[in-house]
Amino acid sequence: MAQWLENVEPLTLKGQIAVPYTWWVGDTGSRFLNAVRHEEKIWGTRCETCDAVFVPPKKNCGRCFSSLDQWVEVGTEGMVTAYTIVRFDHPMHPVKGPFAYALIQLDGADVGLLHLITEDLDKLTNGVRVKARFKEKSQRTGHILDIENFQII
C-alpha cells in the first residue's frame, strides 16, 4: 500500500446493478409451463436421432443439433440421480434451509430436471423415487415453482 494512503480516508461507494427484465419464455417453454399450471402435467421434447427425451423441453437437440417438435408427456414421478442438501441460507433461496436440490429423471425422460426437495431429507439417496407436488391451482402462475417441490415416495 502506498505510504500516502495511510493519511487518506479510503472511500467505498455502495450501489447495485438492478435491471428489470421480462423474459419471453418462448413457445416451447410456454407450452411446458402452461401444462404444469393448468393440467398438472409435465411434457418434454424427444430427439429421434439421439433417442432422448428432454425435460424441460427444448427446441433443438444440444447434442445432434436436430430440430425437435415431437412432444412427449412424461411422468410426474421419477428418480433422484444426484442431489445436495443445502445448509446455508441466502435471500435468493425459495425456501429456508436445510433443503435439497435434486436432479430428477422423470419416468419417460432421459435427462434430469432440477428441482427442490424440502421434506424427509434423511431419506434422500441417489436412486430414491419422488413425486411432484403441485401448488394449489389458484397459486399457479406458469412458473417453474408451480411445482412446489418433489416428495420422496
Partner 1 sequence: MDNIAIVGIAQTKYERRKKDKTYLDLVYEMTTAALDDAGLTINDIDSVVTVSNDFLDGRTISGMAVGDAAGAYDKNISTVEGDGTFGAFYGAMRVLGGAGTTLVVAHSKGSEGDIKTVTNAMFDPIYQRHLGIEGITSSAIQANAYMHKYGITEEELAAVSVKNHANAMNNPHAQLPLDLTLGDVMDSEMISDPLKKLDCSPVSDGAAAIIIADEEQAKKAKKPPVWIKGFAHCADEYLLGDRDLADPRALREAAEKAFAMAGIDEPMGGIDVVELYDAFSYMEPLWLEGMGFCAPGKGAQLLLDGITAMDGTLPVNPSGGVLSAHAVLVAGLARIVEVVEQLRGTAGARQVKGAKTGLAHGINGPCGQSHCVWILSKEMRG
Please list the residues that pair with 80 across neighbouring strands.
104
Residue in 130, 75, 77 with CA at minimum distance from that of residue 102: 130
Q: How far is CA 12 from the centre of its chain?
A: 36
Report, in Å, the least distance between residue 132 CB and partner 1: 14
Piece of the chain touching partner 1 by CB under 8 A; list 36-44, 64-72, 132-140, 142-150? 142-150
Please state, as a whole number, how many other Cβ atoms lie within 10 Å of the Cβ of residue 17.
4
Strand-pair partners of 72: 44
CB 18, min distance to partner 1, A: 11
| Site size toward partner 1, by CB under 8 A | 46
Residues 92-121 that bind partner 1 (CB under 8 A): 92-94, 101-105, 111-116
* Under rule CB under 8 A, residue 59 binds partner 1: no
Query: What does DSSP assign to residue 62?
Result: T
Helices (H) and strands (E) in the chain, counts: 1, 8
Binding site for partner 1 (CB under 8 A): 1-2, 5, 10, 12, 15-17, 21, 23, 25-26, 29, 33, 54-56, 62-63, 81-88, 90, 92-94, 101-105, 111-116, 126, 143-145
